Amino acid sequence: MKEKPVSESKSQKTGDKSTLVLLNDDFNTFDHVIESLVEVCGHDPVQAEQCALITHFRGSCDIRKGSQTIIKSMHIALLDRNLTSEIII
């Protein structure tokens, strides 16, 4: 079952903004990372591939900005997929 990207409502857009950062690891495949970014963060495949490459070569990449509530739920979903991410407030 595919997860739908979480979207922000007007009330959530006014909250504090946070940034979700994807961190590089040595065990997830590019395909898994790309698929996860598409399903969890709502990226299109090209954007997800670019984020995966930036993460691979630079060590990290900002993948989403938004309310703390939305970013936290995406962070948990990425952790459930064994991806390493962090939230910057």
* pLDDT bucket at 10, cuts 50 / 70 / 90: very low
pLDDT band at 54 (very low <50, low <70, confident <90, very high): very high
> Could you tell me if residue 31 is inside a domain?
yes
- Judge whether residue 9 has pLDDT over 90: no
Residues 6+ apart with CB under 8 A from 31: none
pTM across the whole model: 0.81
Of 1-10, 13-22, 26-35, which one has max mean pLDDT?
26-35
Residue type, 86: E
Residue 64 covered by a domain = yes
Residue 38 lies in domain = 27-88
- Count of domains forming the chain: 1
